[in-house]
C-alpha cells in the first residue's frame, strides 16, 4: 500500500468535526428549553456541542470549558441557567467569546425573574447577550447570526430563514382575508 494513501486514510480516521457553538446548561432539567437552540442550529446546518456545566456544582469544569472553548473552535457559547443563573456571566468572565444567556424558569425560580435579572444585570466589562425567558430558540438564531456576520454561507442561511418567516406571516394574512377578516391596510 502506498504510504501517502495510508497517511491519508489515517487523517480521515482522526478527523474530528469542529463545533461552532457550545450549548451549556446548569442542569439536565434545562434540556427541554435548551433543545430549542439545538434544533434551530440543526435546521441551519451549524455544528454544536451540548453538555451540562454547573457554575455552582462544577465550577472547575465551568472554567475549563469556557477557557478552552475558543481553542477548540467554538465561536459562540449559549449558556442556559435557572434560579440564581450565574452560569452565563461566569462563563463570560473567563472566555473571549460572545456568550448568549438563556434565563430558564426552573423549579426553584421566582417566576423566572431571578434568572432574567441575574443574566441581564451583568457589570460593565463582562457583557452577556440575554434573550427572553425560556427563549433558547432565539439564542440559537442569535448565535447563527453572529457566525453569519463573518461566514457568507451561514449569513445566507439566516437571510433565507428570515425570508421564510416573512413568507409564513404573509400567508397568514391571506388566510385571514380568505376567511372574511378584512382591514383597510390590506385592501
SS3 69: coil
Instruction: Determine the average pLDDT of the residues in 116-120.
Output: 93
Q: How confident is the model at residue 15 (pLDDT cuts 50, 70, 90)?
A: low
Residue 20, pLDDT score: 97
Q: Kindly tell me if the per-residue pLDDT of 11 is higher than 70.
A: no
Q: Of the candidates 26, 21, 18, which has an alpha carbon nearest to the alpha carbon of residue 100?
A: 21
Q: Kindly tell me if the per-residue pLDDT of 86 is higher than 70.
A: yes
Q: Kindly tell me if the per-residue pLDDT of 2 is higher than 80.
A: no
Q: Kindly tell me if the per-residue pLDDT of 100 is higher than 70.
A: yes
Q: What is the pLDDT of residues 150-159, one digit of tens each?
A: 999 999 999 9
> Where does the chain show beta strands of DSSP type E?
21-25, 48-52, 76-82, 99-104, 129-130
Q: Which residues contact 150 (CB under 8 A, 6 or more apart)?
A: none
Q: Kindly tell me if the per-residue pLDDT of 5 is higher than 90.
A: no
Amino acid at each position: 500500500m502506498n504510504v501517502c494513501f495510508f497517511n491519508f486514510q489515517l487523517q480521515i480516521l482522526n478527523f474530528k468535526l469542529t463545533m461552532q457553538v457550545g450549548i451549556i446548561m446548569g442542569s439536565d432539567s434545562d434540556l427541554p428549553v435548551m433543545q430549542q437552540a439545538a434544533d434551530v442550529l440543526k435546521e441551519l446546518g451549524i455544528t454544536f456541542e451540548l453538555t451540562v456545566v454547573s457554575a455552582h456544582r462544577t465550577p472547575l469544569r465551568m472554567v475549563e470549558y469556557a477557557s478552552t472553548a475558543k481553542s477548540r473552535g467554538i465561536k459562540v457559547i449559549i449558556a442556559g441557567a435557572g434560579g440564581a443563573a450565574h452560569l452565563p456571566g461566569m462563563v463570560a468572565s473567563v472566555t473571549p467569546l460572545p456568550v448568549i444567556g438563556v434565563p430558564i424558569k426552573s423549579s426553584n425560580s421566582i417566576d423566572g425573574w431571578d434568572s432574567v435579572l441575574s443574566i441581564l444585570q451583568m457589570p460593565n466589562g463582562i457583557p452577556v447577550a440575554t434573550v427572553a425567558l425560556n427563549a433558547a430558540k432565539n439564542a440559537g438564531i442569535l448565535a447563527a447570526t453572529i457566525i453569519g456576520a463573518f461566514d457568507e454561507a451561514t449569513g445566507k442561511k439566516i437571510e433565507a430563514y428570515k425570508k421564510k418567516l416573512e413568507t409564513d406571516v404573509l400567508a397568514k394574512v391571506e388566510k385571514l382575508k380568505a376567511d372574511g377578516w378584512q382591514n383597510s391596510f390590506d385592501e
